[in-house]
Structure 1
């Protein structure tokens, strides 16, 4: 009887110890949960034949951002696995697969037929402006990254106006527009000055440029509203924040996502 009780106690103790170890393991593991998104990630628009030479200080996220493609696609096209290590001098393709240079087929105009009547070319059809598509639901809320007047707006297709500009004063707080992880913190992207890029999900990024000082590092988890930088004029003619939102690597109009104010 005593032996049976001792055996039962040892089994109970072993189960309790196993349960405690499992709980400690779960508590010690940091899980970064991406905000849920109702949209599926679409492939980036490839640029057949285009390549980029990695410069000192470049990161894969920075190169993807600069070229308007999703970092997941850029990594897959070049066979680069996490943690996405690249090297100066390395050549990266901006397109999938092995695309060789093929001669462009030239179409010769047909020879005119003797005696044939030449008909006037009909006028080209009038192209009507395409309506701006409705914004994609990100699955989480956005907030304004800084206080101040809007002095620059997004213009689709204009490489110099891929976001909005918010005027402010030197040292003013710049805050994260949503929860996420810092994937770039540096000054290596020409035209952005001191820049921070935050990844909010597999499909969504936000960028904060022209800062005076960056207050967060790459890999750092960020909460919405947390101060990440001090406003400045690095790479700009005045103190302001340049703010962008990108969906699958493509710039979208931030004013379609930020709350009215």
Structure 2
């Protein structure tokens, strides 16, 4: 009954709002803690919050990172006074001495260093592979001829194929939506890859994954169909920060 009410309510929501809700599936409270859900791993939590598994293990004093429990609270922000490790450690520079030099007077002060000019930031192109996309290993979600969507309100691509053919995850991530509650999209799957990136797979015949499930690149998530459309096809879309991007700019050439 609960699933029916959820699906009915979602049917009245635009896809953009559903994508927003899906993208906010993993959130931390004001204290910087995240509550573990079914299907979570230390790797997936770290990916969602841009933290390394090593940092999470250290901050939470986890002896075995595989022993996460549903409902467990995990610190996903650096504790006060701790800087997150992002790579090989660098030796800190020694602090400037406050005592006068042996040859100078006590009132002598070092000359202020000149500020280094920073290069102007380049405007971001929504169609260009940004840093978030560069970290994701993309692949085609299915075989078939591709073309811009025939529906003017959709910004992704249609991939024409045969009923029942395999639809796979275009990149590793977590399923944040799996259902048929959005009018015009049929049986749809949404996968969250990073805090900024989502991918959409619509018009499927059958859905083979559940919400909260972690998937790998190339793992089958559905079969192709024509749910809520008049042609057998997969509608595929990638969104960054809620906005559709040019999928052809990030998918490999074929």
Cα distance in 1, alignment partners of residues 209 and 19 from structure 2: 24
Q: Are 2:166 and 1:173 equivalent residues in the alignment?
A: yes
Q: TM-score, normalised by structure 2?
A: 0.53
C-alpha displacement at 1:67, in angstroms? 3.4
Contact 1:210/1:236 (8 A) holds in 2: yes
Task: Identify which of 125, 142, 147 aligns with 1:146.
Answer: 142
C-alpha displacement at 1:73, in angstroms? 6.9
Cα distance in 2, alignment partners of residues 220 and 69 from structure 1: 17
Aligned to 2:202, the other structure's residue is in SS state: strand
Cα distance in 2, alignment partners of residues 223 and 75 from structure 1: 18
* 1:82–1:59 distance in 2 versus 1, CA, 3 Å: farther
Cα distance in 1, alignment partners of residues 203 and 167 from structure 2: 11
Q: Are 2:218 and 1:225 equivalent residues in the alignment?
A: yes
Give CA-to-partner distance per residue, 1:134-181, whole Å, 9 cap, x none. Answer: 331321211000000013359xxx862310000000000000000000
Cα RMSD between the aligned structures?
3.4
Cα distance in 1, alignment partners of residues 208 and 236 from structure 2: 16
- Whose Rg is larger? 1
Give CA-to-partner distance per residue, 1:224-259, whole Å, 9 cap, x none. Answer: 000000000001111000001010111111111100
Give CA-to-partner distance per residue, 1:189-212, whole Å, 9 cap, x none. Answer: 111000000011111100100000
* 1:140–1:166 distance in 2 versus 1, CA, 3 Å: same
Structure 1 unmatched ranges of 5 or more = 1-54, 84-130
Say which is worse superposed, 190-199 or 62-71, in terms of deviation.
62-71
* 1:206–1:56 distance in 2 versus 1, CA, 3 Å: same
Contact 1:192/1:210 (8 A) holds in 2: yes
Cα distance in 2, alignment partners of residues 151 and 159 from structure 1: 13
Contact 2:159/2:235 (8 A) holds in 1: yes
| Runs of 4+ with deviation above 3 angstroms | 62-65, 67-76
C-alpha displacement at 1:58, in angstroms? 6.4
Task: Identify which of 110, 134, 147 aligns with 2:128.
Answer: 134
Cα distance in 2, alignment partners of residues 151 and 171 from structure 1: 20
- Counting only pairs closer than 5 Å after superposition, residues 67-82 of structure 1 correspond to structure 2 as 67=17, 70-71=20-21
Contact 1:182/1:217 (8 A) holds in 2: yes
Match of 1:206 in 2: 199
Contact 2:171/2:217 (8 A) holds in 1: yes
Give CA-to-partner distance per residue, 1:29-87, whole Å, 9 cap, x none. Answer: xxxxxxxxxxxxxxxxxxxxxxxxxx742689x958433864467999xx9x979xxxx
Aligned residue-pair number: 154
* 1:163–1:173 distance in 2 versus 1, CA, 3 Å: same
